[in-house]
Structure 1
């Protein structure tokens, strides 16, 4: 236990930084987009590549840790993660950043599951739940603090320091690491590596992750997505056949004979599936629809992450005193209730229901995640413990990736419907404006073009509906003045029964000046009245679009409520 007390802080720091870099990236995307002048679709790979490679590398790196030493693997992971952070922070373009993020993800895949195994192996059966509580709790803390720290650092020091700040912290962690953990005489197991099995499971996870992440962008029925899905299926079938025949399989399939492992794995996928919807969609809802800044949005969603952290810690400490099925069932029930509260969020920027709902979500997720994190390793030691942690981490990633894929697709359809409804409303609103028909036609054309562009763009959620207003150019005014002046001079000529050319030049200039003054006043008045009408109409349209977009998000969240309630049935698998 004394050994565990000295080692655990080192493992906690590594987990904190790796998990923080999952959430910290989202808050600085707009700044990076401006710095590199790239599309949001291209920049999204900075997130995707981290997620895909992390899920892909967990199992092979876990098995390598058994052969070459878990301590060495975590130390190597810290070095790799530090290098990736330095490259990402110093990136001069997007390709350079993608390489840095890829290196970061490989380091994180080396650190997170293996450090959990180190902590569990140093613990006793009695205090395993405390180790899980601390490691899982610090991961929740990292996710909670990530957006807020990222927003603060980016605002006052620049976005590059969001990644560069990892380097000195990792160096400090490495210095302590080599002091408290054995490297030279570390116990290892000379197991053979099933390289074919490793290649097949990596291909499976890579193709599956890629298909789920890009499905809603490339189209679920596109040749690329169907090819990736087919490749994932074939690779998985090949992996299962290989693992049954291999003398030293990558994953010991006897893990799945444990009901605790099977039930926990399914619960991990489900709870991360439900959590992923909130984590992926809520920042966009707050910034794009409710008009919050990135930092304000991060602060408003921090309560759910803090609730996750506290719930995971407390549940892990109490799990042996309470019925596991009761904890998991209560957790899924709270998740369902939390999304009901979240769906009551009004468009008027009143966040009471959101804050209460996200706290319930954090507590519910913590009840499920903490319980199954302990149950998933409860029956194993040695290599099986490593394998169970590797599979558990993959299942977490699959749940999160699946969530983003499913709910982004649903949201995309809901947003399209919201924009179509707003376009229909806009036509009605414009028809009621007290302006010239030519102005109405111009506004309708511009709004139709605006909504079409928004639908086809990568940034699908955007409530910026603007219209510059009506203006009359100097040339147009001059034309009107000249026509009105000629008409007025004709009247003067008829009155005095002389040709227009016989009207004295002074009088002609006086007439032109008077006409110019009257015409400009008339035009200014009409422009002012027209623009007032247009501002009123556009304000109504913008308000309706915000309401429709808010409703599009809430309808997406509503789908989770019955699914979370059905997930309570997972308790029968334990």
Structure 2
């Protein structure tokens, strides 16, 4: 137990850094996009590559840790992660950043599952739940706090320090690590590495992750996505067939004979699927629809991160005192209730229901995640413990990736519907404006261009309708003045019964000056009246757009409510705790 107390801080820092970098980058994407002058679609690969490689490498690296030493694997992972952070923070362009992020993800995949196994192997059966509580609590807190910390650091120190701040923390962790964990005489196991199995499971997870992440961008029915889905399925079937007949499998399939392990795996996918929707959609809803700045939005979703951490820790301590089925069922019920509250969010920037809802979401997630995190390792030791942790971490990632894929696709359709509804309302608003028909026609053309699917990505969210106002050019003014001047000069000539050309120059100039003043006053008044009408119309249109976009996000999140309630049925999988 004394050994565990000295090792845990090292493991906690490692987990904190690696899991925070899963989400910390989301808040600084606009700043990086401006710095590198690249499209957001290209820049999204800096997020995607971390997630895809992290999920892909967890299982093979977990098995390598058994052969070469878990302590060495985590130490090496820290070094690799620190190097990747240094490269990412100093990246001069996007390709360099992608390399840095890839290196970071490999380091993280070396650390996360293996560090949990180190902590569990040093613990006793009685205090396993406490170790899981601390490590899982820190992981949940890190992912949730990522955007808040990233927003703060980027605002006061610059976006590069979002990554560079990892370096001194990694160095500190390395110094402590070497002092408290053995490296030279570490116990290892001479096992044969199932390289074919490793390749097959890596291909499965890589193709699956890439297909899910890019499905809504590339098109779910596109040849690329269908090929990735087919490749993932074939690789998975090949993996299962190979693992059943090899003497040294990459994953011990007997894990799945445990009802608790199967139920825990399914519950991990589901609870991360539900949490992922909030993490993926809420920052965009607050910034793009409600007009909050990035740091303010990050702070507004911070309560759920604190709730996740506290709930995970407290639930882990109560697992042995309360029925596991009750905890999991209550967690999913609370998740359903939390999304009911969140989806009542008004467009008036009143956030009380959001705060209550996200706290309930954090508590519900903690009830499920903490319970199944303990159950997933409860029956295993040694290699099986390593395998169970590797599989559990993959399932967490699959839940998050699946969540982003599903809810971004749903949101895309709902946003497009919101734009179409707003365009219909906009035309009605424009038709009622007291302006010239030519101005109405021009306004309708601009609105059609803004909301037309062909000119905007149907997943793009922007609540602003730009108003530049009507202006009359100097050339046009001069033409109107000249035309009115000719009319007035004609009247003067008729009054004095002389040709226009016989009007004295001084009198002609006086007429022109008087006409210019009158014409300019008339034009200015008409422009002011027209712009005032347009401004009022734009305000009404923007109100419609904001309301419709808010509804688009909330309708997307409402899908979770029945799904979370149905997820309560997962409890039937578990054995009753004696």
8 Å Cα contact 2:154-2:162 kept in structure 1: yes
Q: Determine the structure 2 residue equivalent to 1:568.
A: 568
CA distance in 2, matches of 1:352, 1:132: 32
Q: What does 1:327-342 align with in structure 2 at a 5 Å threshold?
A: 327-342=327-342
Q: Determine the structure 2 residue equivalent to 1:186.
A: 186
Deviations 1:263-296 (CA, angstroms, capped at 9, x unpaired): 0000000000100100000000000000000000
Query: How far did 1:459 drift?
Result: 6.0
**Which segment drifts farther, 134-143 or 474-483?**
134-143
Moved over 6 A (4+): none
8 Å Cα contact 1:454-1:462 kept in structure 2: no
8 Å Cα contact 1:40-1:458 kept in structure 2: no
CA distance in 2, matches of 1:6, 1:454: 59
Query: How far did 1:148 drift?
Result: 1.5
Do structure 1's residue 409 and structure 2's residue 409 form an aligned pair? yes
Q: Determine the structure 1 residue equivalent to 2:204.
A: 204
Query: How far did 1:464 drift?
Result: 1.5
Q: What does 1:418-437 align with in structure 2 at a 5 Å threshold?
A: 418-437=418-437
CA distance in 1, matches of 2:99, 2:86: 11
Query: How far did 1:568 drift?
Result: 0.2
Query: How far did 1:141 drift?
Result: 2.1
Deviations 1:186-209 (CA, angstroms, capped at 9, x unpaired): 000000000000000000000000
Query: How far did 1:453 drift?
Result: 6.2
State the TM-score, normalized to the length of structure 1: 0.99
Deviations 1:339-394 (CA, angstroms, capped at 9, x unpaired): 00001000110001111000000000000000000000000000000000000000
Deviations 1:141-181 (CA, angstroms, capped at 9, x unpaired): 21232212111111111100110010011011001101100
Q: Determine the structure 2 residue equivalent to 1:510.
A: 510
Q: What does 1:354-369 align with in structure 2 at a 5 Å threshold?
A: 354-369=354-369
CA distance in 2, matches of 1:400, 1:371: 18
8 Å Cα contact 2:413-2:458 kept in structure 1: no
Q: Determine the structure 2 residue equivalent to 1:482.
A: 482
8 Å Cα contact 1:454-1:460 kept in structure 2: no
Query: How far did 1:508 drift?
Result: 0.3
Q: What does 1:61-460 align with in structure 2 at a 5 Å threshold?
A: 61-452=61-452, 456-457=456-457, 460=460
8 Å Cα contact 2:412-2:459 kept in structure 1: no
Q: 1:70 and 1:273, CA in 2 relative to 1: closer, same or farther beyond 3 A? A: same
Do structure 1's residue 37 and structure 2's residue 37 form an aligned pair? yes
Query: How far did 1:334 drift?
Result: 0.1
Q: 1:271 and 1:455, CA in 2 relative to 1: closer, same or farther beyond 3 A? A: farther
CA distance in 2, matches of 1:494, 1:456: 59
Query: How far did 1:455 drift?
Result: 6.0
CA distance in 2, matches of 1:153, 1:300: 17
Q: Determine the structure 2 residue equivalent to 1:535.
A: 535
Deviations 1:106-161 (CA, angstroms, capped at 9, x unpaired): 00000011000000000000000000011111112212322121111111111001
Q: 1:455 and 1:333, CA in 2 relative to 1: closer, same or farther beyond 3 A? A: farther
How many residue pairs were aligned?
574
Deviations 1:15-70 (CA, angstroms, capped at 9, x unpaired): 01111111110010000000001111111111111000000000000000000000
Structure 2: where are the runs of 5+ without partners?
none
**Which segment drifts farther, 454-463 or 6-15?**
454-463
CA distance in 2, matches of 1:208, 1:394: 12
Could you say what the CA RMSD is over the residues aligned between the two structures, in angstroms?
0.8
Query: How far did 1:458 drift?
Result: 7.7
Q: 1:323 and 1:455, CA in 2 relative to 1: closer, same or farther beyond 3 A? A: farther
CA distance in 1, matches of 2:342, 2:442: 39
CA distance in 2, matches of 1:124, 1:147: 35
CA distance in 2, matches of 1:567, 1:144: 23
8 Å Cα contact 2:336-2:561 kept in structure 1: yes
Query: How far did 1:254 drift?
Result: 0.2
Q: What does 1:489-504 align with in structure 2 at a 5 Å threshold?
A: 489-504=489-504
> Equivalent residue of 1:249, what SS?
coil
Deviations 1:476-522 (CA, angstroms, capped at 9, x unpaired): 00000000000000000000000011110000000000000000000
CA distance in 2, matches of 1:455, 1:163: 35
> Equivalent residue of 1:322, what SS?
coil
8 Å Cα contact 1:41-1:458 kept in structure 2: no
Deviations 1:512-551 (CA, angstroms, capped at 9, x unpaired): 0000000000000000000000000001001100000000
CA distance in 2, matches of 1:453, 1:105: 36
Q: 1:460 and 1:475, CA in 2 relative to 1: closer, same or farther beyond 3 A? A: same
CA distance in 1, matches of 2:268, 2:508: 88
Query: How far did 1:454 drift?
Result: 8.1
CA distance in 2, matches of 1:356, 1:415: 26
> Equivalent residue of 1:250, what SS?
coil
State the TM-score, normalized to the length of structure 2: 0.99
Q: 1:418 and 1:459, CA in 2 relative to 1: closer, same or farther beyond 3 A? A: closer
CA distance in 1, matches of 2:69, 2:311: 33
Q: Determine the structure 1 residue equivalent to 2:57.
A: 57
CA distance in 2, matches of 1:149, 1:552: 28
CA distance in 2, matches of 1:181, 1:127: 20
Query: How far did 1:452 drift?
Result: 2.0
> Equivalent residue of 2:301, what SS?
helix
8 Å Cα contact 1:471-1:527 kept in structure 2: yes
8 Å Cα contact 1:40-1:459 kept in structure 2: no
8 Å Cα contact 2:412-2:458 kept in structure 1: no
8 Å Cα contact 2:413-2:459 kept in structure 1: no
8 Å Cα contact 1:334-1:361 kept in structure 2: yes
Q: 1:94 and 1:181, CA in 2 relative to 1: closer, same or farther beyond 3 A? A: same
